[in-house]
Structure 1
Amino acid sequence: MTSRVSLPSWQALQTHAKEMKSQHMNDLFAADTSRFDKFSVQLPAMLLDYSKNLVTADTMEKLITLAKECDVESWREKMFSGEQINKTEDRAVLHTALRNREQTPIYLDGENISDCVEAALTKMKAFTEQVRQGKWKGYSGKRITDIVNIGVGGSNLGPQMVTEALKPYSDDSINVHYVSNVDGTQIANVLRPLNPEKVLFIVSSKTFTTAETMTNAKTAVKWLTSASFDQTSVAKHFVAVTANKENAVAFGIDEDNIFDMWDWVGGRFSLWSAIGLPIALDLGFEKFIELLEGAHDIDKHFCETELENNAPVILALLSLWNCTFLGAQSQAILPYDQSLHMLSAYLQQAEMESNGKSVSWHGEEISYPTVPSIWGELGINGQHAFYQYLHQSNNVVPADFIGSVESVTPVQGHHETLMANFFAQTQALMAGVNEEQVRVDLTVKGRSKSYIDKVAPHKVHKGNRPTNSILMTRISPRSIGSLIALYEHKIFVQGVLLQICSFDQWGVELGKGLANEIQAELESEENIRPHDSSTTGLINFYKSTLNKAD
């Protein structure tokens, strides 16, 4: 099978990377006063500025050539048309169909799935209105005031990130809570202040077998029935989002209260489906549709824009350039908006679970670095935590800075201070400051020569640290939809460029299987089966200590 490293464009980029490592962005900006105009893209709800990357027009031309040699355009067509591009699971990848606001027909196995999506949205709308208008009653006849979403991974991170981001748009008629951790502390803390008569649980699991989710769901049932003294109350307080209706019905959930999931939607790309019920319940169904419309805006941009100006393609190519060719091993996601405080965690799952792999789609070991590790924090918090590392460590960490022009919660002077830091940090990471500049500055400040000699080397910042700046006009359902879709398509293009299947997650499955086996051993009084000495020792220590405590 042909490896990416054999492509002429790949080899050209390897040579070019060696040349570019001796360049500094300061010189690139000095040589071209129109650099920002050349290396930025205006989107419907945001601006992408990628000029503070170690790239030239020649770099971008070589990267675009690689994208074309990797057939990104044809792979894009395959995804949107419903071809089974998830080869290891023989599935189509059609999360984009969930926000196909033009409702163009998309056929899968002879069925127009656009009709299925619209039917699901109609059911979601009716349910959302029933709950928000107080027509859905609990076992005692009281209206629902609190929603508890039980899920993990994509069934949790997406909806929670969005509801947190769009809090200013909620009318607070419904309180939404999330439970994902199987550590009993979380569900106990969530349930403790709630009234069982007024709580509705959403259990989200494609298979309805996920151990963490089902453990939490069973605990929720016990909590409810211990208050209602009636097992039939489950039907009035539980709904499910799943592809396994049989399991959900066996659990006690009324079939009418089961919302569809499909195997052509991966969990981490599923918030556009009924997995997004908490979003609709919190914000109202109209705002949920605006979220879909924002994503659809980027779908259209991704499909209709030439690669040279295609924002998701550019982001994917820059990630490849910075990681695979220039050697960066991680990337920071740095939101400068409090409402985006969960974005780093969300994108961490989206990218690392999708493309954190070392085998090509041909089943061959990959010889080149793939995606970086993703991490981050709110920008202002990060400035007083790990920005020291970003500025002066030997490890170069590319970073995405994400903010908005207008604040959704304007407080005089605050947003200006926030954004001043946004702009200053990207400039500082790019430009740095050399020792000569440090010495001049300290001399002007009247410092002695001995002090300057001692301190100057410590104050040097090499700069040349790549950043992308994404500026939304305003945080809104539509712009958040666009932002998420922008990164989803970036991840897809990354997978194509790297020859990685982005839509499976076999690395997750291994640990799950072992955990099920070990749990049985923890609950048994018999001797455990052989493990490696470390695992055996840990389990024995756990069990013996627990027995002593009893």
Structure 2
Amino acid sequence: MTDDSRIGAIWSALKAADVPELRTIFTNDPDRLAKHVIEVGGTRFDFAKTHLLDATVDAFVDLADAADLAGARTAMFAGEAINNSEGRAVEHSALRGEGRAETVKEAKMLRSRMRTLIDAIEAEALGEVRHVLHIGIGGSALGPDLLVDALARNSDRYDVAVVSNVDGAALEEAIKGFDPHATLIAVASKTFTTGETMLNAASALQWMMDAGVDDPYGRVIALTAAPEKAMEWGVDETRILPFPESIGGRYSLWSSIGFPVAMALGWAGFEELLEGAAEMDRHFRTTPPRDNAPLRAAFVDQYYARVRECQTRAVFAYDERLRLLPSYLQQLEMESNGKAVTRDGVAVDGPTAPVTWGGVGTDAQHAVFQLLHQGTHLIPVEFIAVTEAGDRQDPAHHDTLLINCFAQGAALMQGKESDDPARTYPGNRPSSTILLDALTPNALGALIAFYEHRTFANGVLLGINSFDQFGVELGKSIAKAIESEGPKGFDPSTMALIERALT
């Protein structure tokens, strides 16, 4: 049970606390690094360059207790229906072995089914396959796209392309260079009715038909929680890879939605990914709040969003292989916690999720860092870097990359005074750094699970349901109305745009 009066008092105390500048915080506490760095496996989470004091962390630990975070966490892993607005459990962790026993068993069975199908594909039971076209949108595309791009760049297994945008140019780009006679299509949709996905899938099939491919439907794999819909669409039951209804789209890459990842990495790599995530699950479940990496990160998020009223959070991956991570996190965090009411339907009493945005270092330094260093907005920054290089170039490349990453965090904190106001850097600007030893499937699995649990923890601290996404439905319903009814019943601006472009 939550203690609302206690929660209100803690927030009031946090907002009233006087917090010195970052440089002073380090000066005042020679042990700060030891207390604000958490090591999990081969990943270092450094929160030392944030404004959280020991007393701040104590207050947030108290807040987590008052919000019954431990109870909510137990309920999630037990498979209880914590998605109260939809009456659903939230069981993505069970897909990697940490959760309700029945779901873990079902996930193992479904994973075995996927492996059997992949073995058959590798044995050319579906004919020659050199290319995999994965079609989805949102969580059905962002996770696979991130993982394939990050981990399979040098794979000699299959060419994998992910297409999500309904813009025909996106599909054309995805299939450019693919031989339709050697292509496998994976259609990923939880309901198997998602408009953009099904239109792209139909166009991909037409591409095969136009090329004279025998039985194009025989080269389609369906990844869905609605297998009957896939069969109605024309996919044979033997090529349907189901996943449970309790798996939300943005948490689904561990299910059959990860099929293109397993194709690109091989089965051992996919299993390693799952085990890395399971290691983070165990850390989140069993580690006390002060040393719990996802929970500590949520404390940082809440401090800057609610106490300092920062409207955005910037994420910069100082590794080209992680260039898609900011986009992945945008959906995970903003779709999960971009809410205006609590779990009980009452208006929230403050900001919820900030706007997540970011880019890739060092490119971003020459694009947006001017505002971060000297602009009027206070924006907490998160850096992600990898100690081991992912290329075979002169080591100077990777050394320079890491030096720039660490220098930016130091510069944001330290600042620099000058007699020339235009050359003055105020400093006192916070950042966190996540440093992976190496970018392996295990490490990336753990990192993604870290972000999942961080998002969940933020939702609990805010008292909201992180697992529905009704906000994406209104625009879709209006689009359907325009498609079926044309330009009538809308505002004059919308009607004029429809008439100009579509009639």
Q: Give the TM-score range, shorter chain.
A: over 0.9
Cα drift, residue 9 of structure 1? 4.7
Match of 1:240, SS state, is strand
Contact 1:294 1:478 in 2 (8 A): yes
Judged with a 3 Å threshold, the aligned counterparts in structure 2 of structure 1 residues 9 and 191 are, in CA distance, closer, same or farther, namely closer
1:418 aligns with 2:418: no
Contact 2:7 2:67 in 1 (8 A): no
Find the partner of 1:289 among 249, 266, 271: 271
1:65 aligns with 2:62: yes
Q: Which structure 2 residue ranges, 5 or more long, are not aligned?
A: none
Deviations 1:294-353 (A, max 9, x none): 000000000010011101111111101111111111000111111000000000100000
Question: Aligned letter for 1:252?
Answer: G
- Give the corresponding residue for 1:27: 24
Greater Cα radius of gyration, structure 1 or 2:
1
Q: How does 1:376-455 map to 2 (within 5 A)?
A: 376-411=358-393, 412-434=395-417, 438-439=418-419
Cα drift, residue 542 of structure 1? 1.7
Deviations 1:478-518 (A, max 9, x none): 00000000000000011101111101100011111111111
Q: Residues of 1 paired with 2:174 and 2:411: CA distance? A: 42
Q: Residues of 2 paired with 1:16 and 1:121: CA distance? A: 46
Find the partner of 1:250 among 207, 214, 232: 232
- Give the corresponding residue for 1:452: none
Q: Residues of 1 paired with 2:270 and 2:502: CA distance? A: 48
Question: Aligned letter for 2:497?
Answer: L
Contact 2:314 2:380 in 1 (8 A): yes
Q: Residues of 2 paired with 1:501 and 1:272: CA distance? A: 21
- Give the corresponding residue for 2:85: 88
Q: How does 1:16-415 map to 2 (within 5 A)?
A: 16-20=14-18, 23-100=20-97, 106-107=100-101, 112-131=102-121, 133-138=122-127, 143-168=128-153, 170-228=154-212, 233-411=215-393, 412-415=395-398
Deviations 1:110-157 (A, max 9, x none): xx22221111111111222332x342333xxxx100000000000000
Cα drift, residue 410 of structure 1? 4.3
Q: Residues of 1 paired with 2:495 and 2:359: CA distance? A: 37
Q: Percent sequence identity over matched residues?
A: 38
Q: Residues of 1 paired with 2:314 and 2:125: CA distance? A: 43
Deviations 1:347-372 (A, max 9, x none): 01000000001011100111201110
Question: Aligned letter for 1:534?
Answer: S
Question: Aligned letter for 2:74?
Answer: E
Match of 1:529, SS state, is coil
Match of 1:124, SS state, is helix
Q: Residues of 2 paired with 1:113 and 1:229: CA distance? A: 39
Find the partner of 1:11 among 1, 9, 13: 9
Match of 2:437, SS state, is strand
Match of 1:41, SS state, is strand
Contact 1:330 1:374 in 2 (8 A): yes
Deviations 1:401-421 (A, max 9, x none): 111111122432111111111
Cα drift, residue 229 of structure 1? 6.4
Judged with a 3 Å threshold, the aligned counterparts in structure 2 of structure 1 residues 92 and 513 are, in CA distance, closer, same or farther, namely same
Q: Residues of 1 paired with 2:41 and 2:8: CA distance? A: 32
Question: Aligned letter for 2:148?
Answer: T
Q: Residues of 2 paired with 1:17 and 1:459: CA distance? A: 32
Contact 2:157 2:265 in 1 (8 A): no
Contact 1:96 1:299 in 2 (8 A): yes
Task: Report the more deviating stretch, 52-61 or 242-251.
Answer: 242-251
Contact 2:180 2:213 in 1 (8 A): no
Match of 1:474, SS state, is coil
- TM-score (norm. length: structure 1): 0.89
Q: Residues of 2 paired with 1:307 and 1:332: CA distance? A: 24
Number of positions where the alignment pairs a residue of Structure 1 with one of Structure 2: 502
Q: Residues of 2 paired with 1:475 and 1:183: CA distance? A: 32
Q: Residues of 1 paired with 2:501 and 2:139: CA distance? A: 31
Q: Residues of 1 paired with 2:197 and 2:349: CA distance? A: 37
Contact 1:207 1:242 in 2 (8 A): yes
1:457 aligns with 2:421: yes
Q: Residues of 2 paired with 1:410 and 1:494: CA distance? A: 39
Question: Aligned letter for 1:66?
Answer: L
Runs of 4+ in structure 1 deviating by more than 6 angstroms, as ranges, are: none
Q: How does 1:401-550 map to 2 (within 5 A)?
A: 401-411=383-393, 412-434=395-417, 438-439=418-419, 456-522=420-486, 528-544=487-503
Contact 2:373 2:425 in 1 (8 A): yes
Question: Aligned letter for 1:161?
Answer: L
Deviations 1:258-281 (A, max 9, x none): 001211100000000000000000
Q: Which structure 1 residue ranges, 5 or more long, are not aligned?
A: 440-455, 523-527, 545-550
Question: Aligned letter for 2:146?
Answer: M
Contact 1:9 1:62 in 2 (8 A): no
Cα drift, residue 16 of structure 1? 3.6
Match of 1:228, SS state, is coil
Contact 1:147 1:176 in 2 (8 A): yes
Q: Residues of 1 paired with 2:204 and 2:409: CA distance? A: 46
RMSD: 1.6
Question: Aligned letter for 1:331?
Answer: R
Contact 1:204 1:241 in 2 (8 A): yes
Q: Residues of 2 paired with 1:300 and 1:339: CA distance? A: 26
Deviations 1:382-411 (A, max 9, x none): 100000111111111101111111112243
Match of 2:17, SS state, is helix
Question: Aligned letter for 1:383?
Answer: Q
Cα drift, residue 430 of structure 1? 1.0
Q: Residues of 2 paired with 1:383 and 1:38: CA distance? A: 29
